[in-house]
Structures are given as structure tokens and as C-alpha cells.
Amino acid sequence: MLNGKKVIAIGERDGVPGPVIAECLEGAGLEVVFQVTECFV
């Protein structure tokens, strides 16, 4: 279902960082077109 979909991954400093989300999603067959980690405080 997810295979080949494009995704934007936004991670959070005190939660899950962007590269970690991206790695998981790529492993599931998604194409990460943009990933970033932000700090919201």
C-alpha cells in the first residue's frame, strides 16, 4: 500500500528525529522527498 509513495518526514528534537523517520519509511518502500528535524522550543 505504501510502496512507491512520496513522503515528507518532519522530526522533532525531543521526539523522533527526521533521519530516523526517513530510514524507517524508506525501509517500508516509501520515497522520502524531504526530511528535516526541527526544534519547537
CA distance 35 to 6: 11
Q: Is 14 near other proteins (CB under 8 A)?
A: yes
Please, which residue, 15 or 29, has the CB nearer to other proteins?
15
Q: Binding residue for other proteins (CB under 8 A) from 3, 6, 27, 39?
A: 39
Dihedrals phi, psi of 21, to nearest 5 degrees: -60, -45
Q: Is 26 near other proteins (CB under 8 A)?
A: no
Q: Is 32 near other proteins (CB under 8 A)?
A: no
CA 23-29-34 angle, 5° bins: 55
Q: Binding residue for other proteins (CB under 8 A) from 7, 19, 26, 32?
A: 19
The span from the first CA to the last CA of the chain, in angstroms, equals 35
